Amino acid sequence: MAQFLEALVNGISLGSLYAIIALGYSMVYGIAKMLNFAHGDVIMVGGFAVFILMVSNGWQPLLAVIAAMFICTVLGMLIERLAYKPLRGAPSLAVLITAIGVSYFLQNAAQLLWGANPKFFTILDYGNLTVHIGDSQFNISIGKLLSVAVSVAIMVGLSLFTGKTRIGKSMRAVSEDRGAAQLMGINVNATIAITFAIGSALAAVAGAMLVGVYGVQLSPTTGAMPGIKAFTAAVFGGIGSIPGAMIGGILIGLIEILVGTFVSTDLKDALTFAVLIVMLVAKPTGLLGKPMREKV
């Protein structure tokens, strides 16, 4: 029982991290209709930014994370402007390959700048919360609990942002029908740029939490696997849908931890992906994705 609860809490906590990354994938997909393969590497850059500011320059963790968010926002917008914007309207495969090129670029630039040796840092280290249930007990890292709180705050904030603000509404309009949004006077290019900015800022937070709370070692390829997992989560929830990305992220995190705890650590990746496949075969557009009907 205690083991199950611990896995449950850890799953939700990992899932909320995936959810933040998945939001970046999903929003960009919804609005720019592209698979941004380089998103995972922005996470890595965020991690390095926090590392350099905090460990090398002695900044406060919170300040370092905020600065990293700023750096990633600029980076994300720069990538969008230089690599993706010129390809608007191009075949999606060309855009995908470009995104892969950007991913290679970020990984190798990071390798040249910061080397391949793994690095570590810690933020939100407040010890453990020990819960006793009858005779058994389990520990939860308070840092992880706080990171869940941060994730939830981000999700609520983002939902309010897209639901209530003018920019958020134009984001939804562009994702629904780009042509019509343009006719309604919405600046599509600016909207797409803002989407990349938000996604990248979230990636910085994810990078800081991934290394600083979850203890993943920081190297140029750090972002790749969480990126793929979160991408899976975004598709699971229905890519393009913001609530879908949140639910998808939490479910994928839960599945991964529960499978790892109760079935097999070695098979957790395989089973997580298997669940995704079963899900998509049963409902081809994901949990909350809208079915598309081609007009004949």
Partner 1 sequence: MSTKTKNMLTTLLTLGMTALAFLLCQLAIVNDWSWMTSTLKGQLVNICAWIIMAVSLNLVVGISGELSLGHAGFMSLGAFSAIIVGSWLKRGMGMESGELRFVIAALSAVLVAGIGGFLIGIPVLRLKGDYLAIVTLAFGQIISNVLRLLYVTVDTDTGSLAMALKIGSGTPKLPGKDIIKGAQGASRMPQDATFVIGFILVMLTLLIVLNLNNSRSGRAIRAIRDNRIAAEAMGLRVTKYKLMAFVTGSALAGLAGALYGLNQSSLQATFFEYNKSIEVLVYVVLGGIGNIWGSIISATTLTILPEMLRSFSEYRMLIYAIVLILVMLATNNPVIKGWFRMVSGRISDRRNRKTGKKEARP
Reduced to 3 states (helix: H, G, I; strand: E, B; else coil), residue 136 is strand
175 makes contact with partner 1 (CB under 8 A)? no
Distance CA(132)–CA(225), nearest Å, equals 34
Smaller CB separation from partner 1, 81 or 169: 81
145 makes contact with partner 1 (CB under 8 A)? no
Structure tokens at 67: 């600065």
Report the residue from 102, 158, 218, 255 that binds partner 1 according to the rule CB under 8 A: 102
135 makes contact with partner 1 (CB under 8 A)? no
- HSE-CB for 82 with a 13 A CA cutoff: 8
Distance CA(5)–CA(61), nearest Å, equals 30
78 makes contact with partner 1 (CB under 8 A)? no
215 makes contact with partner 1 (CB under 8 A)? no
3 makes contact with partner 1 (CB under 8 A)? no
Report the residue from 86, 118, 157, 215 that binds partner 1 according to the rule CB under 8 A: 86
Distance CA(213)–CA(50), nearest Å, equals 12
Judged by CB under 8 A, which stretch of 10-18, 59-67, 105-113, 157-165 contacts partner 1? 105-113
| Local structure of residue 128 (DSSP, 8 states) | E
180 makes contact with partner 1 (CB under 8 A)? no
Smaller CB separation from partner 1, 74 or 267: 267
- HSE-CB for 231 with a 13 A CA cutoff: 16
Closest Cα partner for 202 from 37, 75, 56, 57?
75
Q: How far is the CB of 50 from partner 1 (least distance, A)?
A: 23
Q: Identify residues 9-48 at the interface with partner 1 (CB under 8 A).
A: 29, 35
Write phi, then psi, for 237 (nearest 5 degrees).
Answer: -80, -10
Smaller CB separation from partner 1, 63 or 270: 270
Distance CA(42)–CA(68), nearest Å, equals 10
Residues in the chain: 296
Report the residue from 78, 109, 153, 190 that binds partner 1 according to the rule CB under 8 A: 109
Check: CB of residue 89 under 8 Å from CB of residue 179.
Answer: no
Q: How far is the CB of 61 from partner 1 (least distance, A)?
A: 31
Check: CB of residue 205 under 8 Å from CB of residue 65.
Answer: yes
Judged by CB under 8 A, which stretch of 8-16, 108-116, 123-131, 253-261 contacts partner 1? 108-116
DSSP letter for each residue of 207-261 = HHHHHHTT-PPB-TTTTHHHHHHHHHHHHHH-TT-HHHHHHHHHHHHHHHHHHHH
Residues binding partner 1: what is the number (CB under 8 A)? 46
Distance CA(150)–CA(16), nearest Å, equals 9
Q: How far is the CB of 133 from partner 1 (least distance, A)?
A: 26
How many Cβ atoms from other residues are within 10 Å of residue 285's Cβ? 16
Judged by CB under 8 A, which stretch of 131-139, 145-153, 177-185, 232-240 contacts partner 1? 232-240
Query: Which positions lie near partner 1, rule CB under 8 A?
Result: 29, 35, 83, 86-87, 90-98, 100-102, 104-105, 107-109, 111-112, 224, 228, 231-232, 235, 239, 264, 266-267, 269-270, 273-274, 276-277, 280-281, 284-286, 294, 296
